[in-house]
Chain A
Amino acid sequence: MSPFVLWLSRLSAFASMPAVWGIFFAGAVIYLIAGWRVRLLALIVQFFFIGILYAHLFADRPEIALLKLIVGWLVCGALYLSARMREEAIPQERRFSWAADVPFRALTLAVLGFSAYIASQRYILPFVSADLAVACFLLGALALLFIGTEEDTVVVGVGILNLLAALDLFYSSQDPGLLVTGFLVVVNLLVGLAISYLTVIEVAE
């Protein structure tokens, strides 16, 4: 077993719940801050926390968790390239800025996050551990938030990726079969590429 897989596996044993909240706070950063560099960094961190949960889920096959983590970071790489191209076409004056209507966004985020947490306590997902259930609900809430309230291609794309991650965590808890896992990896990769492509064509000459 590679040292990184071993380390990820050990980390997952005691850091599942912090990772769940890490996912949510990384999502909050993506939602509240407009600079693409900060958003991309938050997405990398979010994928890392999701990777920890996968390591917890695939405790006997940590290489699958590693694969999913690498795919997530590959998607980040694709998004980085397209964000750079977009910046070259439409230069931005400031690297860091709050998103528009921050108080409204913060309120929506807090309400949705709280609702998702309450829902995870109230509606028990079958065969899903408590921390993973919270993660599924929070990721689902973030996905709905990004998809429903954002126009930016990358943020909507992150919403789709969060939705897929929630689904993957839930489905893999029930049926950790290789075929569905493989399909979901392909879907994630393709969504990342498609988002990257759509971001670029909006500014292409």
Chain B
Amino acid sequence: MTTIPGPVLILGLPLTMAVLLQLLRRWTTVTAWLAAVTSVVLGTAVISLPLTQTWQLGQWQIRLGAPLWVLGREVVLQPVDRLPVTFLFFTAAGIFILAWRLLPHSNFFPIGLATTALLVGALLVTQVVYAALLVEIAAILAVFPLHEGSKQAKGGLRFMTYTSLALPGLMVTQLLLDLYAIFPNDRGLLSTSAVLLSLSFAILLGAFPFQNWLSAVTDDGSPPVVTYIFTMNLGVVWFMLLAYLQSYTWLSEQAALGSVFNILGLLMMGLGGLLAASQQRLGRLVGYATLVDNGAMLLALGTQRIGGIALAGIMLISRPLALGLMTVGLAGLRRLSAGDDDRETLRGAVWRAPWRTAAFLVGGIALAGFPLSLGFTARWGLYRLIAEQSLFEAAFALLSSAGVMLGLISAMRALLAPPPVDKQGRVLGLALKEDLIVVLLIVVLIGATFTLSIFPQGISRVALEMASGYTFFAP
């Protein structure tokens, strides 16, 4: 009996299911749940099954930790990848359920499942060049559901363009590393690699001055797909960055690394906070809040402590909840005004769509990292950690988060204002006919946000365990 390596199952099953889901696209409930169940099953398998033991599935023997060789290239699930891969599968499952009632007959479910496989593949493959190519393919595929039913296509185009711009840096890095293996005395190759890797990751994470794609995607993209891109695609980029810092010790030993992360993180937070505070469009507000969150994660990494990585992990885990709420809210609010998400157009929206308004605001507060949200736990920890090194940086980071909150308060003032009425005193515009399941999902997400903010220990433990796999910083 032959043993099947784990990656065949982890990558093959979602890709096969994606083909099946494409055929079943007419039945949204079936496709959404099949996609979610597939992701949950794989996530559970990855986290619960031992890597080294062989287990029997019918007539097949599967060993999760066994490598798969594709034309001489190794694809393998390593212990350090287990939690990130589980996070990706569970997050994907959550987003599929969230999108179930929002995207009828959408190709998001098959494409999302295929993209999940590609993103997981990017973590399992050992060479930079293939990881980069898989991330690029995943980004291009995500463009298709992003603009389903939309009249604007700028967000997808920008996302694809920026991901493509990051590709050469990553691919050339691989070549330079191969050259370094032949000429180990040429340290210049490593310096060039460090610059190229930094540039590519800055583009992929939407760091300053490459932040423009984040707001473009939220401006005209389908909200659930935006959540997918900002949690899954950006999550994988984040894990890739950690993996490279772990694998290439010369990279983590660069003296300027901590300062680069600090400056970049502060710039992203400052710029995001400023733009969010002055933002009229709710969609763009989501983009700038994510920019601030990305900046906070880089700042956490800049502390060069394992605690910093754990804090960034909490931010990443809390992001799907916050963004999920925000985008469900945004999708409903846009329906009130035929796609327009200007806050003045949506004045008094709470009277017509109370659940969606609540979802948007609670999600926003969570993403801004303010109290009664899981994001607050991570941000507060971050401010304390930075304050030990520089009080100014901590205050600056806090003020930047306040910028997002300020943008949210402006949105809140418009959304919670008395509704516009006609001369007879009747409320203008129709109320949004809410789907009971969507309301239930909103309640569950709000409940989870509040509960996890009061009891964050479980998530903190997971994040700390995730961080303990990365040993490039001193404890």
Contact = CB atoms under 8 A, between A and B. Distances in A.
Nearest to A157: B157
B160 A167 contact: no
Contacts of A156: 157, 161
Contacts of A178: 71
B153 to A, nearest CB: 4
Contacts of A199: 153
A127 to B, nearest CB: 9
Contact of B153 (A153, A175, A183, A190): A153
Contacts of A164: 164, 167
Interface stretch (B88-96, B142-150, B303-311, B467-475): B142-150
A204 B172 CA distance: 39
Interface in B133-179: 133, 136-137, 140-141, 143-144, 147, 150-153, 156-157, 160-161, 164-165, 167-168, 171-172, 175, 178-179
A199 to B, nearest CB: 8
Contacts of B157: 153, 156-157, 195, 198
B33 interface: no
A163 interface: yes
Nearest to B70: A179
Interface in B278-296: none
A197 B175 contact: no
B171 A167 contact: yes
A184 interface: yes
Residues of B contacting A: mostly: helix
A45 interface: no
Contacts of B140: 187, 190-191, 194
Contact of A183 (B130, B147, B175): B130
B386 to A, nearest CB: 35
A180 B152 contact: no
A115 interface: no
B167 A167 contact: yes
B129 interface: yes
A20 B70 CA distance: 34
Interface residues of B, number: 30
B160 A191 contact: yes
Q: Which of A197, A201, A204 lies at the interface centre, i.e. has the most chain B CB atoms within 10 A of its CB?
A: A201
A184 B133 contact: yes
A183 B171 contact: no
Contact of A167 (B130, B147, B161, B168): B168
B470 to A, nearest CB: 28
Contacts of B150: 201
A104 B143 CA distance: 32
A164 B161 CA distance: 11
A159 B164 CA distance: 10
A160 B164 contact: yes
Contacts of A175: 175, 178
Interface in A110-164: 126, 147, 153, 156-157, 159-160, 163-164
A195 B140 CA distance: 10
B172 to A, nearest CB: 8
B73 interface: yes
A80 B348 CA distance: 46
Residues of A contacting B: mostly: helix
Q: Which of A179, A184, A199 lies at the interface centre, i.e. has the most chain B CB atoms within 10 A of its CB?
A: A179
Contacts of A191: 140, 160, 164
B190 to A, nearest CB: 15
A198 B157 CA distance: 8
B233 to A, nearest CB: 15
Nearest to B168: A167
Contact of B141 (A153, A166, A190): A190
A163 B165 contact: yes
Interface in B171-205: 171-172, 175, 178-179
A180 B175 CA distance: 12
A101 interface: no
Interface in B376-391: none
Contacts of B143: 194, 197-198
Contacts of A195: 157
A148 to B, nearest CB: 10
Contact of B152 (A163, A183, A186, A202): A202
B151 A163 contact: no
A38 to B, nearest CB: 22
Given A153-B157, A180-B129, A194-B156, A186 B137 contact: yes
A194 B71 contact: no
Contact of B171 (A157, A160, A171, A204): A171
B164 A179 contact: no
Contacts of A167: 167-168, 171
A159 B161 CA distance: 9
A197 B144 contact: yes
Contacts of A202: 151-153
Contact of A171 (B71, B152, B175): B175
A97 interface: no
Contacts of B164: 160, 163-164, 191
13 contacts: A147-B161, A160-B160, A167-B171, A171-B175, A177-B71, A179-B71, A180-B129, A187-B136, A190-B137, A194-B156, A197-B143, A198-B157, A204-B151
Interface of A: 126, 147, 153, 156-157, 159-160, 163-164, 166-167, 170-171, 174-175, 177-180, 183-184, 186-187, 190-191, 194-195, 197-199, 201-202, 204
Given A156-B161, A175-B175, A198-B157, 12 more contacts: A163-B165, A179-B70, A183-B137, A186-B137, A187-B136, A190-B141, A191-B160, A194-B144, A198-B153, A198-B156, A202-B151, A202-B153
Q: What 9 A-B pairs have minimum CB-CB distances, sorted nearest first?
A: A198-B153, A183-B133, A190-B140, A194-B143, A160-B164, A179-B71, A167-B168, A194-B140, A174-B175
